[in-house]
Amino acid sequence: MNARKEIGRASQFLAAAAGLGLFFAAFNFAALFVPPRREGSSVADDDGRINWFTGDRELAAAAGKRPFHVAMTAMADPYSRWQCRIMYYWYKRAKAAGAGAEEMGGFTRVLHSGEADDLMGEIPTFVVNPLPPGADRGYVVLNRPWAFVQWLERAEIQEEYILMAEPDHIFVKPLPNLVREDRPVAYPFFYIRPAKQEKILRKYYPEEKGPVTNIDPIGNSPVIIKKSALTKIAPTWMNMSLEMKMDNKTDKAFGWVLEMYAYAVASALHGVHHILYKDFMIQPPWDLSVGETFIIHYTYGCDYSLKGELTYGKIGEWRFDKRSYLKGPLPRNLSLPPPGVPESVVTLVKMVNEATANIPGWDDDDDDNSELRSKFEELNELHTLKLIQETEKNYI
């Protein structure tokens, strides 16, 4: 399958839909950055320096019990809330599995809306403030580093390690602490390419620090890192995000993934280098099976014909897309995909169904904040159009 062609179709579809006012804009537009399909264990990368970490998980787990705290940053809109509930359900299930879960510590939803919401009783939550009005320039994810800064400063965290997680992550099995020799562990994203962005990155990562390939091709999540290292990185990450956002050229070059670059640069500035671990998670529909991985990240829409053929960028006869449920929880008991759809997608839907069947009061989470919602949708629409342009420029 030709991914570029598929993106072309996706953008045309999105542009047309947006033009017609039909498009309910999405929150995480990483959806348009279509990763190459994985073949075996070789992942091409033109940055040269990548040392893929494979295997040795047993070794990591045997290195002793080093519990990590799961910190999931989130907003308070209905779309974030249903994802948080599913995420927390599977965290509990993984932790309860016993073997392999010894290092899974506590869990916190770091809620960056500045106000408690009605999930406080269901999910352990720490409320932090959003950035002051206007500071994020409409880019809501800039609240993430600020949320971590506040949480690390104010919360009492028992564990020495932190897993930075997101609401659209599902644990498919217990996760050990993958940190080795104090090196944090991150999932490498194929679209974060420091070598290709050298000119821009030099503004933030001066020559004397070394080659820009010292910057890891990652974002802040998923990452497992020592709390002491994150405490150093987080304020720089926050400043870096704001600085990059204020610079029109940088903003334009990095677009939706600016905050990921900000984390990558901030950690490199502190001399922190991550183990790049591609089996950390999978991203259906591009990754076909769960295999030895730990997390399913459902940011991409999964569209299939009834014959089980992927129809990416075109609404499928069968589909699962988190963005279909911006205004409230997705329904219980979603229909399973037709035969021929990859195991990763089938597993995802089964896991979503199991969570929604077992979470009490699943349908009760009514949307009670319509003002927030419309602001959210407005911002997202704006970002979508911008991202479409960027995607076309960079990938087609």
Ligand X SMILES: *[C@@H]1O[C@H](CO)[C@@H](O)[C@H](O)[C@H]1NC(C)=O
Task: Report the interface residues with ligand X, using CB under 6 A.
Answer: 235-236, 239, 248, 333, 335
Tell me the closest approach of the beta carbon of residue 254 to ligand X, in angstroms.
14
CB of 333 closer than 8 Å to CB of 353 = yes
Tell me the closest approach of the beta carbon of residue 187 to ligand X, in angstroms.
25
Instruction: Report the alpha-carbon distance of residue 230 to residue 237 in Å, rounded.
Output: 10
CB of 254 closer than 8 Å to CB of 227 = no
Nearer to ligand X, 260 or 265 (CB): 265
Nearer to ligand X, 356 or 380 (CB): 356
Nearer to ligand X, 158 or 333 (CB): 333
The packing angle between helices 370-395 and 3-19, to 10°, is: 140
Nearer to ligand X, 6 or 247 (CB): 247
Tell me the closest approach of the beta carbon of residue 251 to ligand X, in angstroms.
8
Tell me the closest approach of the beta carbon of residue 353 to ligand X, in angstroms.
8
Tell me the closest approach of the beta carbon of residue 202 to ligand X, in angstroms.
18
Nearer to ligand X, 239 or 394 (CB): 239
Nearer to ligand X, 45 or 243 (CB): 243
Nearer to ligand X, 197 or 353 (CB): 353
Tell me the closest approach of the beta carbon of residue 111 to ligand X, in angstroms.
23
Nearer to ligand X, 226 or 297 (CB): 226
Nearer to ligand X, 166 or 390 (CB): 390
- List residues bridging with 185 in a β-sheet: 224, 275
Amino acid sitting at position 374:
S
Tell me the closest approach of the beta carbon of residue 248 to ligand X, in angstroms.
4
Tell me the closest approach of the beta carbon of residue 231 to ligand X, in angstroms.
11
- Say how many Å lie between the first and final Cα of the chain, rounded: 14
Q: Of 29, 26, 71, nearest to 257 (Cα)?
A: 29
Tell me the closest approach of the beta carbon of residue 278 to ligand X, in angstroms.
30
Burial string for 230-255 (b: 16+ CB within 10 Å, else e) reads bbbbbbbbbebbbebbebeebeebbb
